[in-house]
Amino acid sequence: VFQSMSRKANCLDNAAMESFFHLLKCEKIYHHDYKSFEDVAHAAADWISYYNNYRIKEKNGGKSPVQYRLLTTGQSA
């Protein structure tokens, strides 16, 4: 795995991850006063679980990313 090395102010190759981290920071990190790094790490892990399993996305037809992936691949939960 290699880190993205795009030019400064050109995030077209990693726009999806830039958007994801923006949401994480806006919804979970910036509005809370955490006392330790472990608190931040735990909050981020909880939010990522929520984002993948419960947060519905309009572009996924009102389904969470996991539900959409299962539907499109024909797998069962």
Distances, alpha carbon 17 to alpha carbons 12, 24, 38, 74, in Å: 10, 10, 22, 26
pLDDT digits (tens, 9 = 90+) for 45-77: 999 999 888 988 888 889 988 888 888 887 766
pTM beyond 0.75: the answer is no
- Do residues 12 and 18 lie in contact, with contact meaning Cβ atoms separated by under 8 Å? no
pLDDT digits (tens, 9 = 90+) for 25-51: 898 888 889 999 999 999 999 999 998
Domain range summary for the chain, segments of one domain joined by +: 12-73
